[in-house]
Copies of this chain bind each other. A is one copy, B any other.
Amino acid sequence: MRKSKGGAEADEVPADKSARARILETATELFYREGIRAVGIDTIIARSGVAKMSLYRNFASKDDLVVAFLKYRDGIYWQWWDHVMAAHPDDAARQISDLFASLTRRVSSPHYRGCPFINTSTEFPDSDHPARAVCRANKRELRRRLLDLARRTGARDPEGLADQLLLLMEGAYASAQNFPVRSPAPSLQGAAEALLAAQLGRQARRPVRRDARVFSP
């Protein structure tokens, strides 16, 4: 089985921080960049310049470290969100535009490796895995905040708009991996604005329900 190439073994985290902080930072970096299953405990301790027992004294297990990694990323995520929202607190439409503009930049970075919560959910299909609870909580909160935004725009169907925007965001995250030459991300902001505009216009545009034939290969 082809393995991911291992990186340098030298310390990459300043040694003046606590062992716990060094471990968490290193794990966050490695788990995000190379995947959780692909990164072993030995790699984390080597890269953070920490003894193995220091890891297991601070985290009960690798799963526990994974949960800590996700909670750390969750914090960063809402920090980013709040920062974007703060620019125009009373203009929800503008906040949506800003959100998708910032998201476009975020997912267009060459180092971008997708949403850690989606990625982790893929790596651990068992929805009872402790990490999955953190992933679900992040997405639930994302949906809640999008609904709040949608309501404040005065959209005709705020729940529907929120879910449409949610789908766009998830699509931006997921498509970051497989379009190396020309990312679809630049179309993101236009899509969000078109969906919002469609909900603010006069004519009621209801989705057409059609009974297409079922196909299950």
Contacts and interface: CB of A to CB of B under 8 A. Distances in A.
Interface of A: 1-2, 4-5, 33-35, 37-38, 61-63, 76, 79-80, 83-84, 87, 97-98, 101-102, 105, 113-115, 117-119, 121-127, 129-130, 135-136, 138-140, 143, 160, 163-164, 166-175, 177-180, 184, 186-191, 193-195, 197-198, 205-210, 212-215, 217
A213 to B, nearest CB: 7
B125 A4 contact: yes
A206 B190 contact: yes
B123 A35 contact: yes
Given A163-B187, A164-B191, A167-B184, A102 B174 contact: no
Given A118-B178, A207-B189, A105 B166 contact: no
Nearest to A94: B210
Given A164-B184, A170-B170, A193-B205, 11 more contacts: A4-B124, A37-B123, A102-B212, A102-B215, A127-B180, A166-B184, A167-B187, A168-B171, A170-B175, A189-B208, A190-B207
A170 to B, nearest CB: 4
